Amino acid sequence: MMGMFMHFLLVLLTILVLIQAQQDDQSGFISLDCGQREDVRYSASRTGINYRSDANFIDTGESKRVQVKIPKSAVKQELQYVRSFPSGVRNCYRINVTSGTKYFIRATFAYGNYDNRNQAPQFDLYLGVNLWRTMYSQLLKQSFATSTGMIYTPPSLDYIQLCLVNTGNGIPFISVIELRPLNSSIYPQYSPNSALLTKYRYDLGSINTTDSVVYRYKDDVYDRFWKPSESPSDYLRRISTNVKNVDQSLLHPYKPPAIVMSSAVTPVNASAPLELEWEVDNVYDQYYFYFYFYEVEELAANETRIFNIIQNDELWFGPLTPLTQPGPVQPGNDMFLTGEKTYRFSLFKTNDSTLPPILNAVEVYQVKDFSQSETKQDDIDSITNIKKAYRVDKNWQGDPCAPVNYMWEGLNCIPDGNNIPRITSLNLSSSDLTGKIDSSFSKLTMLEYLDLSNNSLTGPLPDFLIQLRSLKVLRKVGKNKLTGLVPDELLERSKKGSLSLSTDDNPGLCMTESCGKKSSQSHVPLIASISAIIVVILLISLGFWIFRRQKVMSTNSKKRGSLESKHQAFSYTEILNITDNFKTIIGQGGFGKVYLGVLQNHAQVAVKILSLSSMQGYKEFQSEAQLLMIVHHRNLVSLIGYCDEVEIKALVYEYMANGNLHQHLSVKNTNILKWNERLNIAVDAAQGLDYLHNGCKPPIMHRDLKPSNILLDENMHAKIADFGLSRAFGNDIDSHISTNPAGTRGYVDPEFQRTGKANKKNDVYSFGIVLFVLITGRPAIVREGGETIHILEWAIPIIEEGDIQNVIDPRLEGEFSINSAWKFVEIAMSCTLANAVVERPDMSFILAELKECQSLDMVRRNYENTGTIEELVSLATVSDTTISAR
């Protein structure tokens, strides 16, 4: 049975209206009018809220004025301008806050045809590295202004970043940003890594029945928008009292507005229930519900109002009586509920009640998972200081590493052991850097690759670079104006082979102490000439000695067989010893045979030998070796070393104990992969491919993705292997170029076969076929009845008939989640759509969808095993409060 954990919190409130002095208190309010001039500050005429320009909170964007066809005076002052972002993919506000303080955060968008195109855009809104919501064009155009709000507590940082992301569907814009501090005791959040997104907030008994009237500050001290509900149906009626009659001494931290609590709805028929119904977008979404009760009628001595709340036919809370005395009724216990498409709440009067139930107002919030990790703060501080020191002219906005789709240009990042992104590669080549090498570079402690070439850097190569213990490549400080001696430790690491160091085209930079000395007689022309000749001879001799010395050290290093660098160059003799004279074959492919090997430290490795008859050949051998030396990800097979000698060409990899995916899906394999294992493998492989496509700069195509190239370690974690046919492209446009045929029959994109033009979406097609193989357990191509049948030709007709049972691998014997199975199939279908560029999704989207699919199955398994839902799936869908232009 499908289920989910729905955390409902019932708040039974008495009314509170603060005294006027409290109402006027805007301490902690942050109210930004986006697009206004930097010097603009004003108090809004309708609310008294103090607004100021957003100019000091963001470095990018353009100011535009709305062009609505109504008098400008009818448009709220804070909605007359927008800030538009025609440049850059991600543009971010940085707003200082108090860490640990709970905030209500609201963003408002008033398109108002500001660009004279009469076509509202569509874009994504992020809070830090987590997606807040997608702002759809239809939503932005259907009303003059649309707001979306959330309750969020910044866990540790003293700032938040609100980012607008261009998704290719128009230019992002924003009108107003508002932050309101809340009492820490209200709106409890499920976890520190979550937020509460506003779904609904209704004033049920309001006498104002149009959207044009929305109660907010000063009626609401927290400046929440209270929207009047639709007119009551025939079985409900409104009851109210004078606002002045509301007892302002009834204090409560939720502080609902007196004007909202002065009215309520109640059934016309005193014996009938008061019913509310919500239809949710996804049965796995998690919600908080807040119901507000206050007695607005003066009851006679013999009158009572007592009722119970029934949720989906079960008692949820009660009996309760709307309060007229100080002190709130405590909320009920957390409820475990199964997932439903519709949630019905019925308020029934008890047998001893003379009056029907009432309800004043209601709030509904949806839980949003905000667990995406931000880059380690030390790395953020360091790269930000580098940006400031050199005034880097790049679109460096928001978090440097996350999300991976919006990683800063020139950076590569890899999660550490705690899944925190760390900067491992920094390319600032040709970035107009001037001055000395800043000390902030030394704080990027996980940096492996640093490129500072083609700039105008001056001064010495500083000693603090020695602190970069992970640094493997510093061969790109050439073509600068550096002077002085290279630090001895960097030279020593270069000699040992643990650091690739090149200082070309820096005439004043010395690799040895002698080149820094000057002759005291250099002013005498003849002596100077002789000295110059001697220096040249000495330098030549010194260079020859260094060359011989390095060669000897390299040879000795090979003989020792130690892994002093990350990718060791093995000798032919060492390969023979490692493989025990090629004793055990563990695989074979187009490249050649793969042998089991054992290093001196007893670690097992896989040794791939280039066959003399290989169709791929030496070019692919070089391609794979070079690629794996620069890309590193937990879902890509790691290269340990290589052998490039006349007798043999070999690549030495980490050993994957559980072989490849093709072997596990073979009909000969009696250990059938479970459904959740297949989902986990799909997610792992998607993470590896997403890294190649979106985490590498430039992007890398695999070009031969298939089950035999997806390897499994001892814990059944999947890693992509075999990069011999991979190719890197400068950008998506560059990737549309003609190239040699690549790939394996059945997995190659038909569009690529037809046009010969390579694109990242070719990999997406191949990945879709891999998903179908995981789903069905069938090979990509099957020979049946004398015909060759492709897996899509077999699967799609069955899927179109809605017969999911006969699509799934029969060896699973029905042990799978129907919902996750359908979603898995839909993802695979989307990957194999005919129009690669337009229709197929990017790997980042596919990865997110697969994780959701994984969560659907996880929820099912946990519920079946324990009867409770312990894993939560939060999907972002937030409704909005709309404001008319009147």
Give residue 290's pLDDT: 87
The answer to whether residue 855 scores a pLDDT higher than 70 is yes
Q: How far, in Å, CA of 265 to CA of 200, rounded?
A: 17
Paired residues of 655 in beta bridges:
none
Which of these ranges, 100-114, 546-560, 818-832, has the smallest mean pLDDT?
546-560
What are the phi and psi torsion angles at 551 (to 5°)?
-65, -40
Going from the N-terminus, what domains does the chain have, and what CATH number goes with each?
20-369 (2.60.120.430), 396-513 (3.80.10.10), 568-654 (3.30.200.20), 661-866 (1.10.510.10)
Give residue 330's pLDDT: 33
Q: Which of 704, 722, 763, 880 is catalytic?
A: 704
Give residue 619's pLDDT: 63
Q: At what angle do helices 760-776 and 843-866 cross, to 10 degrees?
A: 20
Q: How far, in Å, CA of 94 to CA of 57, rounded?
A: 6
What are the phi and psi torsion angles at 457 (to 5°)?
-70, 145
The answer to whether residue 693 scores a pLDDT higher than 80 is yes
Is residue 28 within 8 Å of 884, Cβ to Cβ? no
User: Would you tell me how many other CB atoms lie within 10 Å of the CB of residue 876?
Assistant: 20
Higher model confidence: residue 733 or residue 124? 124
Q: How far, in Å, CA of 692 to CA of 711, rounded?
A: 16
Tell me the mean pLDDT in the region 54-77: 82
Give residue 6's pLDDT: 39
The answer to whether residue 876 scores a pLDDT higher than 50 is no
| pLDDT tens string 156-179 | 789 999 999 998 899 999 999 999
| pLDDT tens string 665-680 | 987 888 899 999 999 9
User: Which of 664, 661, 659, 624 has the alpha carbon at shortest distance from 644?
Assistant: 624
The answer to whether residue 490 scores a pLDDT higher than 90 is no
The answer to whether residue 655 scores a pLDDT higher than 80 is yes
Helix (H) or strand (E) holding 555: helix 525-560
User: Would you tell me how many other CB atoms lie within 10 Å of the CB of residue 451?
Assistant: 20
DSSP track, 88-145:
SSEEEEEEE--TT--EEEEEEE--TTTTSS----EEEEEETTEEEEEE-HHHHHHSSE
The answer to whether residue 549 scores a pLDDT higher than 60 is no
Which of these ranges, 135-139, 344-348, 375-379, 812-816, has the smallest mean pLDDT?
135-139
Q: How confident is the model at residue 555 (pLDDT cuts 50, 70, 90)?
A: very low
Burial 132-166 (b: 16+ CB within 10 A, else e): bbbbeeebbeebbbbbbbbbbbbeeeeebbbbbbb
Is residue 250 within 8 Å of 14, Cβ to Cβ? yes
Helix (H, G, I), strand (E, B) or coil at 163: strand
Which of these ranges, 211-215, 327-331, 729-733, 758-762, has the smallest mean pLDDT?
327-331
Which of these ranges, 330-344, 441-455, 607-621, has the smallest mean pLDDT?
330-344
Q: Give the global pTM.
A: 0.59
Give residue 249's pLDDT: 54
Higher model confidence: residue 235 or residue 251? 235
DSSP letter assigned to residue 609: E
How many Cα atoms sit within 13 Å of 661 on the Cβ side? 31
Q: How far is residue 198 from each of residues 163, 368, 881, measured CA to CA in Å?
A: 19, 10, 9
Q: How far, in Å, CA of 437 to CA of 126, rounded?
A: 34
| pLDDT tens string 22-50 | 345 788 999 999 999 999 999 998 899 99
Task: Name the token pair of 97.
Answer: 């806050």
Please state, for a pLDDT cut of 90, what percent of the chain lies above it: 38
Give residue 598's pLDDT: 93
Tell me the mean pLDDT in the region 289-301: 88
The answer to whether residue 778 scores a pLDDT higher than 90 is yes
Please state, for a pLDDT cut of 70, what percent of the chain lies above it: 78
User: Which of 227, 127, 252, 226 has the alpha carbon at shortest distance from 179?
Assistant: 127
| pLDDT tens string 565-617 | 456 888 888 999 999 988 999 887 667 789 999 998 888 999 988 876 554 55
Tell me the mean pLDDT in the region 831-848: 84
Paired residues of 159 in beta bridges:
96
Q: How confident is the model at residue 244 (pLDDT cuts 50, 70, 90)?
A: confident
Q: Is 220 a catalytic residue?
A: no
Higher model confidence: residue 592 or residue 20? 592
